[in-house]
Structure 1
Amino acid sequence: MPKSRTLFGRPGETEIIAVDRALAEFRAGRPVLLRDGENLALALSAELADVDIAERLETLAEGNARLVLSAARLRRLGAKGRSETGVLAMPAIDIARVETLALKIDARVDAPVGPANTLDAAALELAGLALVLPAIILVPVAAAQIAGEPLVEVAIAAINGYRAAQVATLAIVGRAPVPLEGAPDTEFVVFRGGEGLRDQVAIIVGKPDLSAAVPVRLHSACLTGDLFGSLKCDCGDQLRETVEWMAQNEGGILLYLDQEGRGNGISNKMRAYKLQSQGWDTYDADEVLGFDLDQRHFDFAAEMLKQLGVTRVTALTNNPLKVGAIKAAGLEVAATQRVLGRPNIHNVRYLASKRDRAGHFIDMDALMARAAPKD
């Protein structure tokens, strides 16, 4: 990412600021101007587009607009075996067609799928950062066409380098003791950065020995399970039982990460839940919406641990993705330990899907035995 300096931005900061502003515009349903060298394009979230904005974009498109869709969504639209982002030509920006291709369950590809370019890929990355559906209306433009328009402009290099840049700025902004039920000797440490405009939290339980392998759990936020006790998942059980176990076993660190719905955001999680209520498997539901198995990133989580003085961990997880991410970030994983929730009629299919489709280390027999009534 090129470095620059302004009055209110240190070298490299101006690129982060540009993406932050682009994210605010994108989530508000306004087009963002993407730049790749001399190539320019307006990117608009398909789910937030309306007839009025479509008509205004139509005046600039000159028949060259396209709909950018993720590989997962294209597979659901009938492009079997698709493994890459693709585009569908839009000679006219028809909102009804956009809604069908981006949102409808029974939609099918209605035109040849073209290859995506660097602007298309960056637009999907922006959608991922903004936690909206991975479907973008993209309109190539010339500088003269949009001269004087109040558009936020961002270079695709800034978008593609945003996550790594955020990790580099991760910093502790507050910490305090917070006694918990069953774990009275607990400290909350708040980090700013890592995933867009969100904060992340490390919960230090007890006094873990930093010279040894520290018990660590990377826990992605789950509003429904953690706070409301949803029976659709095992997240709340894993959260509370991990803290309790750490309190009884010389301490540990739980990272509470703002990555709801496997990184898809709470709105898309509810969309997926609606599909699950209609019979879809958890991963199939996400694919219908355009998401792959898991959109989460854990490089910032590893940086949080490093700033807390952790170099070796015992990973409390069933997810091999988390173990691999910790290792890839340069931390040693001395051991792993399973974290069991409680199965019930609402989540047993979900747990089996995590085992069978995402490779989670889940022993269903052990779980069912745990749920069996005690004599």
Structure 2
Amino acid sequence: MSVTMKSRSTLDPAAGRDQIDVERALAEIRAGRPVVVRGRESVLVLSAEALDETNAALLAPLAGTGARLVLPAPRLRRLGVPERTEPGAVALPLLDPARIETLALRLDGRIDAPVAPASPGDEAALALMALAQVLPAVLAIPGEAAPPGTLSVAAEAVARYPGRQAAGLREVSRAPVPLAGAPDSQFVVFRGGEGLRDQVAVVIGKPDLSEPVAVRLHSACLTGDLFGSLKCDCGDQLRGTAGWMAQHGGGIVLYLDQEGRGNGLANKIRAYDLQARGLDTYEADEALGFGLDQRRFDFAAAMLTALGVSRVRLVSNNPEKAASLEAAGLTVVETQRALGRVTPENIRYLTAKRDRAGHALDLDAFVCSEA
């Protein structure tokens, strides 16, 4: 087995101090520790889901009367501000974890204070939460005071980070991996794209790169792909597309680490809990503070380019994927549907994707299965 090593040294000044700062800040956020976001107004920020009684007591001396809870527009609309289109901040006279949890997460939460505009630092903090795939709600304390050892990151560095990650995508390994229904397959692993997570290109058969290549952009779905969840059709689409490619001249499945439309696994399961209480898939995401779709596909285009693909026959029901590849410079010559089962458990999910996100789904063409 040959292993490709194209790694960029983290000690190389070309890697960029800002890039390293963001990567370390993401690790701190996911670990439940605060970071300082530097900008016109520096602000100490902590993921709202990390605020417990202990952290509240430690941060209270720094908070004074200027602490605020920063929330994205979808969450503010859910809390009772129907016309809100931009993030906003709610004053926190006290660091009360119960109140913050209600405003950030609970379905019955309602705004109990005026909403101020979010500062550039607040918006950079929300972007950090999105990159870290934690709940999009931020405890923000203005000023540079911070616990000893707290990391800091420039707001501008956070804004530049996703584009730089796509540009720095690199192949790290490859090997043949025979699959059921597609025995002539090779896995090519790239690092980068979304954070520093690994992304996989599954090359099925021997696609002719001089012709348009059949491609599927498949976002990872632990529940559907691995466990066969009846709440979605992801696993059916994945395996069905791989088998179809094996029988029709080959193709490439990009398996992208973008669980829950880019929201992360923990937030996806939070959304499932809300769906069990009557919300559809998009209503549940909005109640948590997310828009329709947080995914980016510029790094998917970079993966295809690295594999020598310039023209694509896209296997997808999602028009945004074709638009993203075109915007990144690839040519999408045609699209075809990716089919899956309809079950009593996923019919509402599929209907919401069709009606709210424009997915090309003709539900009457599927056979509904009770299994």
- Pairwise same-fold verdict (TM > 0.5): yes
> What percentage of aligned pairs have identical amino acids?
59
Q: What are the equivalent positions in structure 2 for 1:225-236 lying under 5 Å apart?
A: 225-236=224-235
Whether the 8 Å contact between 1:61 and 1:141 is mirrored in structure 2 is no
Shift of 1:321: 0.9
- Tell whether 2:32 aligns with 1:29: yes
Q: 1:19 aligned to 2:25?
A: no
Whether the 8 Å contact between 1:215 and 1:316 is mirrored in structure 2 is yes
- Pair 91,9 (structure 1): closer, same or farther in 2 beyond 3 Å: farther
User: Contact between 1:190 and 1:202, CA under 8 Å: does it hold in 2?
Assistant: yes
Amino acid at match of 1:26: I
Separation in 2, partners of 1:282, 1:157: 32
Q: Say if 2:298 is the partner of 1:299.
A: yes
Q: Does 1:243 align with 2:246?
A: no
1:94 Cα deviation from its structure 2 partner: 1.5
Match of 2:283 in 1: 284
TM superposition shift of 1:279: 1.4
Provide the C-alpha distance between the structure 2 equivalents of 1:12 and 1:115, rounded to a whole number of angstroms.
Answer: 34
User: After alignment, is 275-284 or 128-137 more displaced?
Assistant: 275-284
Deviations 1:103-123 (A, max 9, x none): 111110111111111101000
Q: Alignment partner of 2:44: what SS?
A: strand
> How far 1:205 moved relative to its partner?
0.4
What is the aligned partner in structure 1 of residue 59 from structure 2? 57
> Which residue matches 2:138?
136
Number of the residue aligned with 2:324? 325
Helix, strand or coil for the counterpart of 2:140?
A: strand
Instruction: In structure 1, list runs of 5 or more residues that go unmatched.
Output: 1-5
- Secondary structure of residue in 2 paired with 1:80: coil
1:3 corresponding residue in structure 2: none
Amino acid at match of 2:18: E
Render the CA deviation track for 1:158-205: whole Å, top value 9, x for unaligned: 111111111111000000111111111111000010111210000000
Normalised to the residue count of structure 2, the TM-score between the two structures is 0.95
Find the aligned partners of 1:102 and 1:164 in 2 and give their Cα distance. Answer: 28
| Mapping for residues 190-269 of structure 1, pairs under 5 Å | 190-269=189-268
Matched residues in 1 for 2:335 and 2:76: separation?
A: 36
Distance 1:211 1:204 in 2: 15
Q: Offset of 1:136 from its aligned partner?
A: 0.2
SS at the partner of 2:70? strand
In structure 1, the partner of 2:161 is: 162
**Dislocated runs of 4+, deviation >4 Å:** none
Structure 2 equivalent of residue 347 of structure 1: 346
CA 1:372–1:159: 2 relative to 1, 3 Å: closer
For 2:246 and 2:94, locate their aligned partners in 1 and report how far apart those are by CA, in whole Å: 61
> How many aligned positions are there?
362
203-212 or 9-18, which deviates more: 9-18
Counterparts of 1:349 and 1:141, CA distance in 2 = 46
Offset of residue 7 of structure 1: 9.4
- Alignment match, 1:121: 123
Aligned counterpart, 2:97: 95
What CA distance in whole angstroms lies between the structure 2 residues aligned with 1:348 and 1:46? 33
Distance 1:243 1:74 in 2: 41
- Secondary structure in 2 matching 1:175: strand
For residues 10 and 298 of structure 1, the distance between their equivalents in structure 2, rounded to whole angstroms, comes to 27
For the residues of structure 2 that align with 1:372 and 1:283, how far apart are their CA atoms? Answer: 24
Deviation, 1:223, is 0.5
Q: 1:320 to 1:80 in 2, by over 3 A?
A: same
| Deviation per residue, 1:50-95 (Å, 9 max, x gap) | 1221122221122001100010100100110211111111122221
Q: Aligned equivalents of 2:56 and 2:324: distance in 1? A: 41
In 2, Cα distance between the equivalents of 1:7 and 1:260? 27
Q: Secondary structure at the match of 2:103?
A: helix
Does residue 45 (structure 1) correspond to residue 62 (structure 2)? The answer is: no
Q: Residue 54 of structure 2 aligns to a residue in which SS? A: helix
Asked whether the equivalents of residues 355 and 362 of structure 1 are also in contact (C-alpha less than 8 Å), the reply is: yes
Q: Distance in 2 between matches of 1:227 and 1:237?
A: 11
Distance 2:11 2:215 in 1: 38
Distance 1:7 1:229 in 2: 39
Letter matched to residue 348 of structure 2: R
Residues 85 and 208 of structure 1: CA distance in aligned 2, closer, same or farther (over 3 Å): same
- Indicate the SS of the match to 2:313: strand
SS at match of 1:274: helix
Aligned counterparts of 2:343 and 2:305: Cα–Cα separation in 1: 37
CA contact (8 A) 2:341 2:369 kept: no
The one-character-per-residue Cα deviations of 1:216-260 (angstroms, maximum 9, x if unpaired) are 000000001101111100000000000000000000000000000
Distance 2:74 2:59 in 1: 26
Cα deviations by residue, 1:132-172 (Å, 9 ceiling, x for unpaired): 01000000114xx44x8201111111111111111111000
Q: What's the secondary structure of 2:142's corresponding residue?
A: strand
Kindly report the root-mean-square deviation, in angstroms, between the aligned alpha carbons of the 2 structures. Answer: 1.5
What SS does the corresponding residue of 2:61 show, helix, strand or coil? helix
1:13 partner letter: G
Q: Report which stretch shifted further, 280-289 or 239-248.
A: 280-289
Report the residue type matching 2:352 in the other structure.
S
